[in-house]
């Protein structure tokens, strides 16, 4: 989906330029025709960009070439450096400036954008990389030529107004330029361009879609903007997408369809109506002139549809003929679907040949047992309304097989494609079965938390300075442990350990302790055998920290041990409340996993078809339960119960309090009501 979204961004940019806007100022810049280290490829406004060698993205799972560049600002003013109008091997794509992060000599992440700040006196090494590596039929994994334009501007808002002449870098003259002449699919052409309508695809978000490819044979920019479409007789008056190409270049895009056409699983006949656009640059192309309708026919779209245990697995036509799906009945390990590549199964008879993934159903007890140990090859990814979890299991070795080395080399691309597809099937399974996303970490830290919560016979304590160490056991720690395990804890620099309070989870028999810091950046420190490892967590809930969840666990143990009295401060607020006068508005308040905090949801109808909905997070204060940064939405519903948002705010503030009669009163700071509404408890 990330790659599809990247292409969507390009499509949206194409759509905006095809509707016409003003031209930009062009500025000259030197262009070098090699990448010898130290070659200056841009020099303007005191800013010099120098090549530093071709490489492979050190953080990418797939081989992705990058060009290192050194950006030096010798001037006295801060400058914003942008990069635009990119192409690789004659294929139009988005070129990015990437700044890689390092730790202990290893790259671990990157920040990429269409531009970067270049303060006066600074020298920074960036990489030039690009999107567009997974478009069907396009292979730019080995760059022979890169082209782009640099821009300089005083700030990020105006960088596109100062575009340079194109910079052309010849990297490998033996690499051919991208061409679509040999593509299968309908070819439409005029004296300026060629258009190929490519394969049909399906996306659970976009619905049916079609790839389009354009080869520009002219000396100016051209594009095709879709106007309308008809899919097997279903008329679509709004088509998202389009494609535009620079002179002499090839570009790709995809078309997706709105309305009833979006609900189709596939189609056999497609009629497209385009406007043809041309201009001296991308921004100067107007809305264009209509061309004759283009009619495309496709083979029948035969989906693989499998059911087991009340769940379904739908396989798109393009993959259905390449895989084998087994649906074992009442499997002891809970396997519902087992998916393998058919060709590998036929080429080698060993058990598991060609295996891609299984989808397994498991109850809560089994998931908790799994989380206590290393789960290599197993991922929890979803949960249903009955409390069942769903696991995605996959091989930890390569199961690709063919009869001969020549066949291995020939079909490698197919195997890679199927592996990429298999990675996407978790999201599709969730959407197809209306499940809830659920995931747990399985780091060293996570496994210790899981053992403390669910493994019998584990000796542990939880402590703070408030009551000292309290022995574990005897309380249901599930909600606390699951909150912590929903996060992701990654290694970080041990010198960054914060000051301040923390909650300690300790295992005396194993010489292990974990400190959960209350610091805003969610640090946890594991000390094992005298060796310290500092973790920094990615927060999945901005309202509650992992230390607060551990503090609630601590309080539960302290209450059981008699070291702390039960906290009843939230009890008067917790429950379901109905608006006192007419009972239309409803408020539900539930305790959060953090002490003194609550999750609040509310609804208030404006009419039978219009509903106000709030998701709020309350913090108990002296005068009530206050909230800020709350989410408010207005939703309209049709006769089928389908809803859509018509208004929204993420800045709701206010508070709930109890009046002398014990009624819940709601004060919202926006003043939606003339006076605070009163609610009475219904549950």
CA dihedral defined by 83, 89, 90, 92, rounded to 10 degrees? -50
- b/e per residue 243-270 (b: at least 16 CB within 10 A): bbbbeebbbbbbbbbeeebbebebbeeb
pLDDT of 160 > 80? The answer is no
SS3 letters for 120-132?
CCCEEEEEEEECC
Topology (CATH) of 444-561: Dna Ligase; domain 1 (3.30.1490)
CA dihedral defined by 409, 413, 418, 424, rounded to 10 degrees? 140
The pLDDT score that the predictor gives to residue 504 is 97
Question: What is the β-pairing status of strands 470-471 and 461-463?
Answer: antiparallel
Rounded to an integer, the average pLDDT of 160-169 is 71
* Rounded Cα distance, 468 and 361, in Å: 41
| E strands, 606-676, in order | 610-621, 624-637, 643-658, 664-668
Report yes or no on whether pTM surpasses 0.95. Answer: no
The pLDDT score that the predictor gives to residue 15 is 38
The pLDDT score that the predictor gives to residue 158 is 55
| Strand partners of residue 215 | 194, 250
pLDDT of 2 > 50? The answer is no
* Rounded Cα distance, 245 and 14, in Å: 9
Look up residue 207 and give its two tokens. Answer: 């619905």
Rounded to an integer, the average pLDDT of 618-647 is 92
Look up residue 307 and give its two tokens. Answer: 């059911």
Contacts of residue 453, Cβ cutoff 8 Å, sequence gap at least 6: 368, 477, 478, 480, 481
Look up residue 604 and give its two tokens. Answer: 């208030």
Confidence of residue 117 (pLDDT cuts 50, 70, 90): confident
Average pLDDT value over all residues in the chain: 88
| Strand partners of residue 244 | 223
Alpha-carbon distance values, 278 to 219, 289, 426 (Å): 10, 10, 42
Contact 136, 91 (CB under 8 A): no
The three-class DSSP label of residue 531 is: strand
Contacts of residue 63, Cβ cutoff 8 Å, sequence gap at least 6: 56, 57, 141
Q: CATH number for the 186-297 domain, one of 2.30.29, 2.40.50, 3.30.450, 2.60.40? A: 2.60.40
Rounded to an integer, the average pLDDT of 581-585 is 91
Q: Where is 452: in which H helix or E strand?
A: helix 444-454
Domain chopping of the chain, boundaries: 31-170, 186-297, 304-437, 444-561, 575-681
The pLDDT score that the predictor gives to residue 35 is 56
Our CA angle for 124, 125, 130, nearest 5°, is 125
* Rounded Cα distance, 162 and 158, in Å: 8
Q: Where is 555: in which H helix or E strand?
A: helix 546-561
pLDDT of 632 > 80? The answer is yes
Rounded to an integer, the average pLDDT of 90-100 is 88
Look up residue 13 and give its two tokens. Answer: 């940019």
The pLDDT score that the predictor gives to residue 159 is 46
Contact 144, 170 (CB under 8 A): yes
- Helices 546-561, 478-485: axis angle to 10 degrees equals 160
Rounded to an integer, the average pLDDT of 328-335 is 96
Neighbours of 432 (CB within 10 A): 14
The pLDDT score that the predictor gives to residue 164 is 67
Closest CA to 188 of 289, 273, 269: 273
Least confident of 13-27, 196-210, 622-636: 13-27
Contact 518, 500 (CB under 8 A): yes
Q: pLDDT tens digit string along 431-448?
A: 999 999 999 999 999 999
* Rounded Cα distance, 441 and 423, in Å: 18
- The answer to whether domain 31-170 has CATH 2.60.40 is yes
Please check whether the two domains, 31-170 and 444-561, share a CATH topology. Answer: no
Q: Is the dihedral of CA 674, 680, 681, 682 positive or negative?
A: negative
Rounded to an integer, the average pLDDT of 21-48 is 58
The pLDDT score that the predictor gives to residue 183 is 87
Confidence of residue 502 (pLDDT cuts 50, 70, 90): very high
The pLDDT score that the predictor gives to residue 568 is 93
Contact 37, 168 (CB under 8 A): no
The pLDDT score that the predictor gives to residue 28 is 34
CA dihedral defined by 312, 317, 319, 321, rounded to 10 degrees? 100
């Amino acid at each position: 989906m990330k790659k599809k979204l990247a292409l969507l961004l390009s499509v949206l940019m194409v759509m905006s330029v095809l509707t016409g806007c003003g031209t930009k100022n062009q500025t000259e810049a030197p262009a070098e025709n090699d990448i010898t280290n130290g070659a200056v490829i841009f020099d303007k406004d005191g800013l010099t960009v120098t090549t530093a060698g071709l490489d492979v993205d050190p953080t990418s799972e797939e081989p992705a070439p990058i060009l290192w560049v050194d950006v030096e600002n010798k001037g006295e003013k801060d400058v914003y450096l942008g990069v635009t109008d990119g192409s690789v091997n004659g294929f139009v794509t988005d070129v990015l400036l990437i700044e890689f992060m390092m730790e202990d000599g290893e790259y671990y992440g990157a920040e990429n954008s269409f531009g970067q700040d270049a303060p006066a006196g600074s020298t920074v090494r960036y990489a030039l990389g690009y999107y567009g590596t997974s478009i069907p039929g396009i292979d730019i994994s080995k760059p022979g030529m890169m082209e782009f334009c640099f821009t300089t501007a005083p700030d990020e808002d105006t960088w596109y107004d100062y575009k340079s002449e194109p910079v052309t870098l010849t990297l490998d003259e033996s690499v051919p330029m991208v061409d679509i002449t040999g593509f299968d699919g309908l070819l439409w052409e005029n004296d300026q361009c060629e258009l190929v309508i490519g394969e049909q695809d399906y996306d659970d978000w976009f619905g049916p879609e079609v790839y389009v490819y354009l080869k520009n044979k002219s000396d100016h920019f051209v594009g095709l903007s879709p106007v309308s479409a008809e899919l097997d007789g279903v008329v679509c008056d709004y088509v998202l997408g389009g494609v535009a190409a620079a002179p002499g270049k090839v570009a790709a895009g995809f078309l997706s369809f709105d309305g009833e056409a979006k609900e189709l699983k596939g189609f056999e006949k497609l009629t497209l109506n385009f406007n043809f656009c041309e201009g001296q640059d991308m921004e100067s192309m107007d809305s264009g002139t209509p061309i004759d309708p283009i009619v495309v026919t496709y083979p029948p779209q035969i989906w693989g549809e499998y059911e087991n245990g009340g769940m379904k697995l739908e396989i798109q036509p393009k993959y259905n003929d390449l895989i084998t799906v087994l649906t074992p009945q009442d499997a002891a390990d809970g396997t519902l679907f087992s998916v393998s590549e058919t060709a590998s199964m036929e080429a080698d008879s060993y058990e598991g040949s060609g295996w891609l993934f299984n989808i397994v159903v498991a109850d809560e007890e089994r998931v908790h047992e799994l989380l206590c140990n290393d789960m290599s090859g197993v991922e929890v990814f979803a949960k249903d309304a009955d409390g069942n979890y769903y696991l995605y299991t996959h091989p930890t070795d390569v199961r690709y097989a063919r009869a001969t080395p020549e066949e291995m080399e020939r079909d490698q691309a197919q195997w890679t494609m199927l592996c990429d597809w298999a990675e996407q099937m978790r999201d599709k399974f969730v959407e197809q079965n209306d499940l809830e996303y659920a995931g747990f970490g399985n780091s060293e830290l996570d496994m210790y938390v899981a053992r403390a919560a669910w493994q019998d016979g584990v000796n542990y304590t939880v402590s703070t300075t408030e009551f000292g160490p309290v022995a574990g056991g005897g309380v249901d720690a599930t909600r606390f442990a699951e909150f912590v395990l929903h996060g992701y804890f990654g290694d970080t620099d041990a010198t960054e350990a914060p000051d301040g309070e923390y909650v300690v989870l300790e295992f005396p028999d194993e010489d292990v302790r974990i400190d959960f810091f209350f610091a805003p950046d969610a640090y946890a420190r594991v000390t094992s055998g005298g060796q310290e490892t500092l973790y920094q967590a990615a927060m999945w809930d901005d309202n509650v920290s992992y230390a607060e969840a551990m503090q609630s666990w601590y309080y539960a143990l302290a209450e059981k041990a008699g070291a702390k009295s039960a906290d009843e401060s939230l009890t008067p607020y917790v429950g379901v409340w109905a608006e006192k006068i007419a009972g239309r508005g409803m408020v539900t308040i539930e305790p959060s996993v953090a002490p003194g905090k609550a999750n609040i949801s509310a609804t208030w109808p404006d009419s039978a078809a219009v509903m106000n909905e709030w998701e709020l997070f309350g913090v108990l204060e002296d005068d009530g339960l206050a909230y800020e940064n709350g989410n408010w939405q207005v939703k309209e519903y049709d006769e089928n119960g389908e809803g859509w948002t018509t208004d929204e705010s993420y800045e709701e503030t206010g508070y709930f309090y109890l009046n002398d009669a014990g009624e819940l009163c709601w004060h919202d700071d926006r003043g939606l009501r003339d006076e605070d509404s009163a609610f009475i408890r219904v549950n």
